[in-house]
Amino acid sequence: MHNFLLQVLPILDGFYGSRHWRPGRNALDELVLTILSQNTTDRNSGRAFHELKRTYSTWHQVCNAPVGELAHVIRIAGLAHSKAPRIQSVLQHLATDYAEYSLDFLAQLPPSDAQTWLTNHPGIGPKTAACVLLFAFGMPVVPVDTHIGRVAYRLGIVDTENPVKAQQLLETLVADDHKYAFHMHFIQLGRLICHARRPLCAQCPLQTLCPRASTYVA
Ligand code: SF4
């Protein structure tokens, strides 16, 4: 593991508390919720997911609903006319080639193959795929959003703010058994303290280690 991360992660464990992966939603629910969460808040995506589940009692119904109707049901998530066909594309693939609406088979694949299977669908990028694999199966992958990319860049762990490139780097730099905690800690740090415009370095548990802290501390 990256030497700097060996210093950083125990500090964040102490600051935010230890984070360990536990089984949660099934993978298909996780994927649909993650698609709904693209470019919106957790609150709005959660409401859209709830509305989808309330309206349709089976994935077969979601798969075969008129796409405009599905878009209307999930409209609170925004970009509904893009997200509805993305959801139906995966469901149609499962119905046609796998005969059941389940992504559980991905757990048997190597992470890179599971990522490829997911990202071969429209609107599913590396971050969305990694979220599904990490949260549903605890696979050793590192979803990187703008918050995580920004924090990792400011700390000098990666040399790019591009989330896709940062994700590729971090998947090699973070040890497998620390990937879940890394994701959870860095997203929290980015959302709550290491803001894009005015990071709150004086409140940051990594201030003494961060090469950019003096840039922002008055
Ligand atoms: S010290 Fe400041 S710039 Fe560095 S990680 Fe913390 S909040 Fe971000």
| DSSP assignment string, 184-213 | HHHHHHHHHTS-SSS--GGG-TTTTT-TTH
- Ligand 1 atom closest to the CA of 150, numbered from 1: 8
Q: Where in the chain is the domain with CATH 1.10.340.30?
A: 27-137
Confidence of residue 217 (pLDDT cuts 50, 70, 90): low
- Please compute the mean of the pLDDT values over residues 13-18 and round it to a whole number: 97
Confidence of residue 2 (pLDDT cuts 50, 70, 90): confident
Q: Where in the chain is the domain with CATH 1.10.1670.10?
A: 3-20+141-216
**From CA 208, how far away is CA 190, in angstroms rounded?**
17
pLDDT tens per residue, range 148-194: 999 999 999 999 989 899 999 999 999 999 999 999 999 999 999 99
With the most atoms of ligand 1 within 8 angstroms of its CB, the residue from 185, 193, 198 to mutate is 193
How distant, in Å, are the alpha carbons of 53, 183, 195, 205, 212 from that of 44? Answer: 14, 22, 21, 31, 34
Q: How far is the CA of 135 from the centre of ligand 1 (A)?
A: 26
The protein residue with its alpha carbon nearest to ligand 1, atom 3, reads 213
The protein residue with its alpha carbon nearest to ligand 1, atom 8, reads 194
- Ligand 1 atom closest to the CA of 213, numbered from 1: 1
CATH 1.10.540.10, domain 3-20+141-216, yes or no = no
pLDDT tens per residue, range 75-122: 999 999 999 999 999 999 999 999 999 999 999 999 999 999 999 999
The answer to whether residue 1 scores a pLDDT higher than 70 is: no
CATH architecture assignment, domain 27-137: Orthogonal Bundle (1.10)
With the most atoms of ligand 1 within 8 angstroms of its CB, the residue from 207, 215, 217 to mutate is 207
Ligand 1 pocket member 190 (CB < 6 A):
no
pLDDT tens per residue, range 51-60: 999 999 999 9
